[in-house]
Amino acid sequence: MRLLILGNLANDGYVVAKELRKMNVDVDLGINRSDFGMALPEWEDGDISGSIDPYNIGKDQLQNVWTPPGWIRYFDFQNKVPWKRSPQKRLGAAMRVIKMMKEYDVIESHVPWSIYSQFSGVPYVAYDAGWIRYLSSGNSMRNRLARRGYAKARSIMFTNPDTWEILERQAYLRQDKIQFVPFSIDPEKYRPIGCEDLRSKYAKDSELLLFSPSRQIWREKGNDKMIRAYARFLKLHPNSKFIIVSWSVDEEASLDLAKSLGISENIVWMKPVPKNQLIKFYNIADIILDQFVVGSWGTSTPEAMSCAKPVLMFYKKEHIVRAFGEEPPILNSFTEDEILANLLKLAGDPDFRRDLGRKSREWIIKTHSPRLVATKHMQILQDAIR
C-beta separation of 43 from 275 below 8 A: yes
| Structure confidence at residue 60 (pLDDT) | 66
* CA pair distance 47, 207, nearest whole angstrom: 30
- In the chain, where the domains are located: 3-184+370-384, 196-368
Mean pLDDT confidence for 268-281 = 96
CA-nearest of 231, 217, 188 to 343 is 231
Model confidence at 311: pLDDT above 90: yes
* CA pair distance 268, 106, nearest whole angstrom: 46
pTM (2 d.p.)? 0.96
Mean pLDDT confidence for 195-216 = 97
Share of the chain above pLDDT 90, in %: 88
Mean pLDDT score of the chain:
95
Mean pLDDT confidence for 61-76 = 88
* Span 221-264, pLDDT tens digits: 999 999 999 999 999 999 999 999 999 999 999 999 999 999 99
| Structure confidence at residue 256 (pLDDT) | 98
Question: 196-368: what CATH class?
Answer: alpha beta
| Structure confidence at residue 64 (pLDDT) | 77
Name the DSSP class of 31. Answer: E
What is the band of 137 on the pLDDT scale with cuts at 50, 70, 90? confident
**CA angle (208, 290, 300) in 5-degree steps:** 105
Is residue 324 within a helix (H) or strand (E), and if so which, with residue range?
helix 317-324
Share of the chain above pLDDT 70, in %: 98
What is the band of 86 on the pLDDT scale with cuts at 50, 70, 90? confident
Mean pLDDT confidence for 319-338 = 98
Mean pLDDT confidence for 64-89 = 86
* CA pair distance 245, 216, nearest whole angstrom: 8
Highest-pLDDT range among 27-41, 42-56, 210-224 = 210-224
3-184+370-384 and 196-368 have identical folds: yes
More confident site: 76 or 87: 76
State the CB neighbour count (10 A cutoff) for residue 169. Answer: 10
| Structure confidence at residue 58 (pLDDT) | 66
* Span 49-62, pLDDT tens digits: 766 778 777 666 67
| Structure confidence at residue 51 (pLDDT) | 66
* CA pair distance 135, 96, nearest whole angstrom: 26
Q: What 3-state class would DSSP assign to 340?
A: helix
* CA pair distance 80, 35, nearest whole angstrom: 9
What is the band of 65 on the pLDDT scale with cuts at 50, 70, 90? confident
| Structure confidence at residue 59 (pLDDT) | 62
Model confidence at 310: pLDDT above 90: yes
Mean pLDDT confidence for 141-149 = 95
Model confidence at 73: pLDDT above 70: yes
User: Does 3-184+370-384 carry CATH code 3.40.50.2000?
Assistant: yes
What is the band of 36 on the pLDDT scale with cuts at 50, 70, 90? confident
Mean pLDDT confidence for 161-171 = 95
